Amino acid sequence: MCELLGMSANTPTDLCFSFTELTRRGGGSGPHKDGWGVAFYEGRGVQAFHESRASAQSDIARMVQTHPIKSEIAICHIRQANVGDVCLANTHPFQRELWGRYWTFAHNGQLNQFEPRPGIYEPVGTTDSEALFCDLMNAIRSSLDRDVDLKTLTRFLVKHSNAYSKLGVFNLLLSNGDWLFTYCTTKMAAITRRSPFGPARLQDADVTVDFGTVTTPSDVVSVIATEPLTVDERWDRYEPHEWRMWRKGEVIDRGKQITTADSPA
């Protein structure tokens, strides 16, 4: 399986600390050696880096770790290939334009018997994840309009995510630069850092940061990851089939698909 990392903040914030931990797991402390990618939003623009090699041995990944790129929303992915060759075209996160914005998508999991519907968006690579992204984007484009309100869009994303999750493992990060939508079927955890800020230490690297020295009292920064990244903070784990919509570092909407196992006897 792959691993995901997302960030939502109310002020431009760098991801160096969390990204350092994630890249260690990409062929170092973890098996996810088949490529990596990261996308940072700057307004409507996106600065992205991708490689088909292990992030733990990547000079480009080290550059991203040590050169702060400030963003309010970021999406990262390290890949352990299941479907599709190990190549640049198959590295997440994937991007498509819709309604004058870049939409960015990263997925962890594998769907069984998934058949994408035809539409204007087509995959460039050979992963089921990119095919799934194109399927979702085609559904949004054909069913909604550019003035759709966020509540209606969220319900649409939840409906389709619930349907995808019935086909297999579906852990998702999706953003258009204004919000960050997350959906979990198996593993996902989040932490929101706000005043008073304190120190934190990474799990797989001897790196500690005192957030109190690099933040202001009004800052709110949330990090979402497949697995907790630090050892001395309390992460909030998602439940299976739980979704959350983030904006400016806060959860503005959330819910959970009711499954047969959740129903009363």
The 3-state secondary structure of 92-139 reads CCEEEEECCEEEEEEEECCECCCCCCCCCCCCCCCCHHHHHHHHHHHH
Nearest to 81 by CA among 116, 32, 115: 32
Q: Provide the 3-class DSSP secondary structure of residue 34.
A: coil
Cα–Cα distance for residue pair 247/101, rounded to 1 Å: 16
Q: How many CA atoms lie within 13 A of 161 on its CB side?
A: 30
Report yes or no: 141 and 170 within 8 Å, Cβ to Cβ. Answer: no
Pick the catalytic residue: 2, 76, 134, 184?
A: 2
Is 2 catalytic? The answer is yes
Task: Enumerate the active-site residues.
Answer: 2
